[in-house]
Structure 1
């Protein structure tokens, strides 16, 4: 009987107050000692290996590890040769949002891969909801560890734990040694396919052997089809026929694959119209685009600062104006924005309004106020003063207008999309859905983790298609104003502190409510609404409170249930103030009593103030007792 020879590799994982460390060393079999190969990544440096063997470098961590090296490291190894194919440190010393990014990456590690995780300096405070996923992956310790613990875990995704260790008392370094068994299973064979598909499959599995966290692309049991199959057309497909879809991207090919997958599988997509514009790039990205047969061009950024990104987006606009000069519209996405299956159907029904109504300048797939609890009706669409956001469409005229102003105005704000808002959009408005057709899932250079969790992280996304939108033609200004005035004038007036528990009936019994509050023009900001007054009025209803964006001429719409809507009318700013009944006083944040003001001051939007640190007071004795079943 032939015995299967098990090849093994020595692995050392370290976790401590000065950083983390991983060594993948000598390969060992039962009969033959392989050549000594050592790959080492020290102190939590965030980088990705392309699968090549690298020379060892210093493993001496600094006593003051940079913030970028603090958190929980995630390393993925090729199960056949132990090469490092993905590595990243998630800054889970922060409480907010980064747990979701860790979850996102873990879910996209394919079955059979070897996963190594370790705490670097500190990292369990922000683990939060990701703990549930780690438990389902069969971590025994992580649900019970105190926030200051040092932890390592090596496991096979979809298989078994190889090693899991933790210490709860401070020490400089905590090391774990193990022998990693290598898989003897062969790579998926391309010979089961014919012709061009065989070549494509061969390219796929060579690509996957050197890269991790690629989800269905590299799923050996149920791989995503290549090339992606054609999708059903939408009712107004002709609107999309000449519309380029431009995806701006860099080196984050894991994000890019997910985004492109949602684009290429959405109903109504025109694959030949898709163009990826790369700032920084890598072999991982260009090979991915070749696999997907997606066209791309490169406009080098030369770095990741906001000034360089601002210049990059200006160059993207210039490219669009030159390459697609005859296009009626252009749709723009970023590499970390996923789209709904209904995205192109939504765009096909709304883009023509940009030609029909000169007071409109963009269509956003992102719902300006479509947060959890405020998004109900997939068919409802609004208009309002809001910047282009996370998946939007504009006319080529808008692109050219922006380019002409770029030459004369320069960079008078940090971010290009807000620059467009204050310099190009001005008094024009954008269309946006009640329930979002896009979601910004990634974490980037300008991502604030608290605001991420307060906003787009938990935003509902339409998951079916196609959706027929309700009364799209009535989004044109004259009809919109007529309908809005009718709704406000027939609404029941609310008069109390919007942060008070009794502000709204429970449950709301009427279809329309209206709330009149004091809102002046801001002296600082080109006659936009006064931000403090605006934010104080809207935040207790779950609306975005850190800017005035989303309102239509001083009216903000909150869809509190499927059947109930609150219209917040800010006076004297709003053109709809004449609808306020005589005798109805304006609610004024500047005139509140101290007790009333505390209701606003202490209010936590969508419950984000309830900070709970898991196992905050757990001890090593508690862990021993718990694990022993005593």
Structure 2
């Protein structure tokens, strides 16, 4: 099917797509041709929650495969990945396989600030109702048609590094955070200021993730594992302001970032046992029950009802 197409978009069945889903990929597909250090273009931002996004036209570059609607080169899929695809009788997930270093080979993915897919399924092998509510329910989802993406060609590796350096040069350092503070209240400006903020965290290497775990939980980002960074640099919005988190000294740009500020206050500490057990979005926090959110819950409910009906039909078929 479509033998002339040199790109493939993989889409799971429990995803709703944005009105500019096709346009998003149409504006970015050429990046896979001009930058061999790219692995994919994804429609999903793991850290893109309602309170941590700010620009539907913005893109990021990360060293992780988010999945949940993503584009890759046809040759990569058929020549590299498909021959190693897990057989259906194994208990090894395809997305886990594709994230392994032996397959990703250090290549990056492009993601949007605001996701172009929305995960609505809460019955499945790995995602149940609790996880769906805690990690997917309040995910931001673009509803604006025909968004013209900006800085698309700056997603090429060397240009993205230059763009990051420019953003860090003009940023304001967050310096009021105590090392033993467990809450993130008051860390960032409470309202838009038209400034970019940079926060330095202690990170000796890729496995030294205790501080990021603490920060991601108290800011209500994705905190189940470590993802979404560009070589030790995370980007998101908070209270209407762009934020850059830099792991020091692990991030390749950390020396430049610290030098651009003159000095650095480095956020340390670890996530408490209580915060670890609770995970993101503490219980009791008010949830937005807008018509759009109710509609998404109904999508999830419909998926559950269909799965249960299919199971009943299978059992009745076996009985007969």
- Note whether the superposition's TM-score is higher than 0.5: yes
Compute the displacement of 1:505 (Å): 2.5
CA contact (8 A) 2:223 2:279 kept: no
Mapped pair 1:351 → 2:29: yes
Alpha-carbon distance in 2 for matches of 1:424, 1:332: 17
Compute the displacement of 1:382 (Å): 1.1
Mapped pair 1:402 → 2:86: no
- Cα gap change, 1:603 to 1:442, in 2 (>3 Å): closer
Match in the other structure for 2:208: 530
Mapped pair 1:588 → 2:268: yes
Mapped pair 1:424 → 2:125: no
Mapped pair 1:415 → 2:93: yes
Compute the displacement of 1:342 (Å): 0.6
Alpha-carbon distance in 2 for matches of 1:539, 1:452: 16
Alpha-carbon distance in 1 for matches of 2:196, 2:66: 29
Match in the other structure for 1:363: 41
Could you list the runs of 5+ residues in structure 1 that have no partner in the other structure? 1-322, 522-527, 591-595, 613-630
Aligned residue among 169, 174, 183 for 1:499: 183
**Match runs of 1:34-183 below 5 Å:** none
Match in the other structure for 2:145: 465
CA contact (8 A) 1:361 1:425 kept: yes
Compute the displacement of 1:584 (Å): 1.9
**Match runs of 1:494-573 below 5 Å:** 494-495=174-175, 496=177, 497=181, 499-521=183-205, 528-562=206-240, 564-573=241-250
Match in the other structure for 1:477: 157
Aligned residue among 105, 108, 114 for 1:435: 114
Alpha-carbon distance in 1 for matches of 2:91, 2:249: 28
CA contact (8 A) 1:387 1:418 kept: no
Match in the other structure for 2:305: none
Compute the displacement of 1:610 (Å): 5.2
Alpha-carbon distance in 1 for matches of 2:109, 2:44: 11
TM-score scaled to structure 1, two decimals?
A: 0.41
Count of residues in Structure 1 that have an aligned counterpart in Structure 2? 277
Q: What is the RMSD of the two structures over their aligned residues, measured on CA atoms? A: 3.0
String of CA shifts for 1:112-135, please: whole Å, max 9, x gaps. xxxxxxxxxxxxxxxxxxxxxxxx
Larger Rg: 1
String of CA shifts for 1:450-501, please: whole Å, max 9, x gaps. 3211222222222231111112111111111001012123211113147342
Could you list the runs of 5+ residues in structure 2 that have no partner in the other structure? 288-320
- Cα gap change, 1:544 to 1:553, in 2 (>3 Å): same
Residue 565 of structure 1: SS of its match in structure 2? strand
- Cα gap change, 1:608 to 1:481, in 2 (>3 Å): farther
Q: Which has the higher contact order (CA 8 A, sep 6+)?
A: 2
Alpha-carbon distance in 2 for matches of 1:447, 1:476: 34
Compute the displacement of 1:412 (Å): 10
Match in the other structure for 1:373: 51
CA contact (8 A) 2:39 2:109 kept: yes
CA contact (8 A) 1:554 1:570 kept: yes
Alpha-carbon distance in 2 for matches of 1:352, 1:468: 15
Residue 420 of structure 1: SS of its match in structure 2? helix
CA contact (8 A) 1:390 1:438 kept: yes
CA contact (8 A) 2:57 2:150 kept: yes
- Cα gap change, 1:604 to 1:455, in 2 (>3 Å): closer
